[in-house]
Amino acid sequence: MYDCIIIGGGPAGLTAATYLGRFMRSTLLVDAGAGRAATIPMTHNLVGFPSGISGEELLSRMREHAARYGAEMVNGVVKRIERVGTCFIANTGSNLIKARTILLAQGVTNHRPRIAQAAHDRGVALGLIRYCPICDAYEVRRKRVAVLGCSDHGAAEAIFVRYFSDRVTLLTQDASQLSEAEKANLIRSGIIIKQVPVRDFSVNNQDIGVTLADGQQLAFDTLYVALGTSANSDLARMVGARLGEMACVVVDEHQQTTVSGLFAAGDMAEGLDQIAVAAGQAAEAATAIHNHLTD
């Protein structure tokens, strides 16, 4: 019987594992290895790393830190969790693992553009395809920037990026969902709107090419994908935890869900999708778990 099972090995899960280890709680972290943080080529948005750090390097350091304080970490997928009395059972398909508490830190999945996987991954690695302007719009200031997503979300992201560059174009993958008011606001902000859907993308070492359905060819230094995300909240749903907007898990001020003993932190919980925020939520959750177990 573990004191806590952490499901998800990104910044939130690893921060919680470190805290729980220092609280001398027996902790098992199960990670499927498909988190978004690992794909970050270089972040300059994390305090303490002024020269930047890659997602892989950050996670490696965080794993080393958690292991130093006794956290067990395994690769695997938890397929099901259930509440049995005052405890939980996590089912990995080959093992049933008992714990007094569970912390979900499974993050979200990006809705990707229709582009070949290899080209997409190369574009991300080169910084030509990005998903978080809050993280890195500073790096694209004054450059040619495209935002993919003709919706209210895409419009808001284009307005945000416009602060950093006066060369912003809003693209649509399918039909535009913009209202006339949103179009007028974008135009007033100096943002170009292309309502003809994108037919194809091409990635080279310098820029990303876009071909529209009418044959028009465009080139950009960076493409921000604003197609939204889906929270990985199936396990929370299984045990009856309340879900909010975009299926994010609803938590209280201590990161506890509506199910006693079940906590959630990071991008899958409601809040700003940032590594610093995820770590802060995880610290709050780990402390609350420790107190919950003590009580």
Q: Would strands 198-203 and 129-130 be described as parallel, antiparallel, or unpaired?
A: unpaired
Output the average pLDDT for the chain: 96
Q: 215: which 2 tokens?
A: 């044959």
Boundary of a domain, candidates 191, 225, 259: 225
Res 213 pLDDT > 90: yes
| 256 in the same domain as 183 | no
Q: 256: which 2 tokens?
A: 């506890």
Region 279-295: mean pLDDT is 97
- Band of pLDDT at residue 207, cut at 50, 70 and 90: very high
Question: Model pTM?
Answer: 0.94
Res 150 pLDDT > 90: no
Boundary of a domain, candidates 225, 244, 268: 225
Count, in order, helices (H) and strands (E) of the chain: 8, 17
What's at 3, amino acid-wise? D
What is the domain range of residue 159? 112-225
| 260 in the same domain as 216 | no
What is the pLDDT, as a whole number, of residue 81? 97
Percent of the chain with pLDDT strictly greater than 90? 94
| 221 in the same domain as 234 | no
Angle (nearest 5°) at CA 102 between 100 and 107: 175
Angle (nearest 5°) at CA 191 between 190 and 196: 140
| 124 in the same domain as 85 | no
Contact 158, 194 (CB under 8 A): no
| 26 in the same domain as 85 | yes
Q: 217: which 2 tokens?
A: 């060819």
- Give pLDDT tens digits for 56-106: 999 999 999 999 999 999 999 999 999 999 999 999 999 999 999 999 999
| 183 in the same domain as 105 | no
Region 225-253: mean pLDDT is 95
What's at 7, amino acid-wise? I
| 182 in the same domain as 274 | no
Contact 17, 284 (CB under 8 A): no
What is the pLDDT, as a whole number, of residue 5? 98
What is the pLDDT, as a whole number, of residue 27? 98
| 103 in the same domain as 38 | yes
| 218 in the same domain as 133 | yes
Boundary of a domain, candidates 179, 199, 225: 225
The C-alpha atoms of residue 276 and residue 48 are separated, in whole angstroms, by 11
What is the pLDDT, as a whole number, of residue 170? 97
The C-alpha atoms of residue 3 and residue 72 are separated, in whole angstroms, by 12
Res 269 pLDDT > 90: yes
- How many domains does the chain fold into? 2
What is the pLDDT, as a whole number, of residue 217? 96
DSSP state, residue 194: -
What is the pLDDT, as a whole number, of residue 175? 85
CA dihedral sign of residues 199, 183, 120, 77:
negative
CATH code for the domain in which residue 45 is found? 3.50.50.60
Res 182 pLDDT > 90: yes
Minimal CA–CA distance to 276: which of 37, 67, 63? Answer: 37
- Give pLDDT tens digits for 6-30: 999 999 999 999 999 999 999 999 9
What is the pLDDT, as a whole number, of residue 282? 98
What is the pLDDT, as a whole number, of residue 295? 84
Region 220-231: mean pLDDT is 96
CA dihedral sign of residues 156, 162, 164, 169:
positive
| 29 in the same domain as 62 | yes
Q: 116: which 2 tokens?
A: 């070949």
| 275 in the same domain as 194 | no
Res 51 pLDDT > 90: yes
- Give pLDDT tens digits for 161-179: 999 999 999 999 998 889 9
Residue-wise DSSP of 212-244: ETTS-EEEESEEEE-S-EEE--HHHHHTT--B-
With tokens 């089912």, the residue in question is: 91
| 77 in the same domain as 22 | yes
